[in-house]
Amino acid sequence: MNKDSPMRMLWCTALLCLSAWPVLSLAQLKIEITSGVTDPIPVAIVPFASTAGADNGVDVAQIIQSDLEGTGRIKAMPRTAMTSTPSRAQDVQMATWKSAGNDYVVVGRVTSLAGNQVAVDFELLNALTGQQLANPRFTGTPAAVRDAAHRCSDVIYEKILGVRGAFATRIAYVSVEGQPPAQRYQLVIADADGANARVILESHQPMMSPAWSPDGQWLAYVSFENKRSAIYVQQVSSGQRRLVSGRVGINGAPAWSPDGKKLLVTLGGSAGTPNLYILDLGTQQLTRLTDGPAIDTEGAWAADGQSVYFTSDRSGGPQIYRIGIEPGAKPRRITFGGSYNARPRLSPDGTQLVMVTQDGPNYRIGVQDLNSGTVRVLSHGRLDASPSFAPNGAMIIYSGIEGGHSILQRVSVDGLTSQRLRADSAEVREPVWAPFTRPAG
């Protein structure tokens, strides 16, 4: 058969088109570091060797470098300064790397295995002692190489800094394009570094308050697609979704219980007074938690599922309260500094509470230690909002206005490092960090 035959051209074209399909008309997020520690740890991340095509075009070492440098605590050796590129520990001449100023060296390789599998291996070496600190292997399909790279970052970060990494995680956020009254709203999920963004809902009406289920498989959110608020839950992998509350009045602020079986919701009713309820997703039973004419909303569960935190303006302006879920429980006020404290979210270990707090004329992100009551303001913007903890409790993602546009920002809980995530042609806001979906280690 002539190699220019029509059929051959047909198939080549079809394959080309299909391989280019992911994600049309979605503004991509780009990460930029805005601040880091004054003495970041120097690490050499040597480009990984790869047998032909095994890495699926993914530069694993570059992903690891971006992940680690993005924390502001690690400085990677430039590739141009590397005089050799070993891919195995035994090939590393440590004296060279040590004298180049590195505290650690990472070498690795990507290899094809039988059955369309790929293995990503690396060794983490202490440049000062020569000790090998880790040498894991991650296997999966070629499509999962990027995820394997993030898992490498998790291991390296934990070994060097003693804190579990959150690089192989996902976020969800709302993206808005266009000008009033013709805005287009999208609910997007992406890797924690902004890659692999995928639209799971789009509408000419607003959507808000995305919330991940504890198993990371579902998103609850509020949608105005019927011209008034309603709460949906949607399975992220399949797109399957169902309406869980379309009651008269406000339906808002869904929050999954730690066991994933209940949703804390805000319902306003026909009288328009928002209160907190617990909705049992199995039985559909609704249990009222708060009462009265104040605005009670933005509920968040304590880690043990026995109490919830929420925003209430019952004392005149928004403050954060806590109430037990047992019948007859009374709310107790938690925040006392300043005139505006709202939108509580709990750290994974339950000891810290992050919120939007008014700091002079500015709305900023504050963290309150629930034991001591001490509040630290972590952000520096005018209109910061919607904070969410990373599942390792070490970082907070939130939204802010910069250069007149809504962007996402991350700050470490110790306040020492920060990054921004910006989409060129869209306003991005309401980020939520998904929970870990794999066990530790």
* Nearer CB in complex with another protein: 187/353: 187
3-state percent breakdown (helix, strand, coil) of the chain, nearest 5? 15, 45, 45
Which residue lies nearer to another protein by CB, 81 or 182?
A: 182
Q: CB nearer to another protein: give 93 or 240.
A: 240
Contact between 166 and 116 under an 8 Å Cβ cutoff? The reply is no
Measured from the CB of residue 296, what is the shortest distance to another protein in angstroms?
8
Cα 206 to Cα 197: distance, rounded to the nearest angstrom: 19
CB of 310 to another protein, least distance (A): 10
Q: How far apart are CA 305 and CA 270, in angstroms?
A: 29
Smallest gap from Cβ 325 to another protein, in A, equals 19
Nearer to another protein, 328 or 403 (CB): 403
Nearer to another protein, 71 or 266 (CB): 266
Strands 307-312 and 362-369: unpaired
Residue 93 CA to residue 97 CA, distance in Å, equals 7
Rounded Cα distance, 378 and 345, in Å = 15
Assess contact for 325 and 308: CB atoms under 8 A: yes
Cα distance between the two ends of the chain: 54
Look-up of token digits 């004054």: 38
Amino acid at 398: Y
Distance in angstroms (rounded) separating the CA atoms of residues 152 and 167: 9
CB of 206 to another protein, least distance (A): 4
The smaller minimum CB distance to another protein, of residues 138 and 218, is found at: 218
**Distance in Å, CB of 106 to another protein, minimum:** 34
Q: How far is the CB of 263 from another protein (least distance, A)?
A: 14
For residue 154, CA distances in Å to 27, 61, 286, 324, 403 come to 27, 13, 40, 36, 33
Based on CB atoms, which residue is closest to another protein, 49 or 365? 365
Q: How far is the CB of 230 from another protein (least distance, A)?
A: 7
Q: Name which of 338, 336, 375, 333 is nearest 353 in CA terms.
A: 375
* Residue 20 CB partners (closer than 8 Å, separation 6+): none
At 155, which helix (H) or strand (E)?
helix 145-161
Helix, strand, or coil (residue 408): strand
Q: Quick one: 118 or 230, whose CB is closer to another protein? A: 230
Cα–Cα distance between 307 and 322 in angstroms, integer?
7
Name which of 36 and 268 has its Cβ closer to another protein: 268
Burial of 408 (0-12, 13-18, 19+ CB in 10 A): buried
CB of 440 to another protein, least distance (A): 30
Q: How many DSSP H helices and E strands does the chain contain?
A: 4, 32
**What number of other Cβ atoms are within 10 A of residue 226's Cβ?**
10
How near is the Cβ of 147 to another protein at its closest, in Å?
17
Minimum distance from CB of 249 to another protein (Å)?
7
Rounded CA-CA distance 264/286 in Å is 10
- The three-state secondary structure class of 8 is helix
Q: How far is the CB of 101 from another protein (least distance, A)?
A: 44
Rounded Cα distance, 423 and 47, in Å: 28
Judged by CB, which is closer to another protein: 134, or 401? Answer: 401
- Cβ nearer to another protein, comparing 357 with 392: 357
- Which residue has 């290899």 as its token pair? 111
